Amino acid sequence: MGRWMRPEVYPLLAAMTFVTSMCVFQLTRNMFLNPEVRINKAHRLAGVLENEEEGEKYAEHGLRKFLRTRRPEIMPAINHFFTDDDK
């Protein structure tokens, strides 16, 4: 690899690999789990489906349910350090 790439490029390559893998993950998730996406012809011919419970299950996944119980903070330790009045 030394002949073809400089060491300065490795962080950029790591970031681009991460972003590409996240895009592939999201596209794959939507293709196989999204109730609005229909790949085969038989499902496409059905038209508008009445599947509210399947759509609700897709939209309210486990990560979203977990984050709903958490406080909306990026760095809680730093926030508490600067906002707590323990003096």
Residue ranges of domains in the chain: 7-83
**pTM here?**
0.55
* Rg value, the chain, Cα: 22
Amino acid at 74: I
Q: What is the largest CA-CA distance in the chain?
A: 69
pLDDT tens digit sequence for 7-23: 888 999 999 999 999 99
Please write the tens of the pLDDT for every residue from 14-49. 999 999 999 999 999 888 888 777 787 877 777 766
pLDDT of residue 2: 58
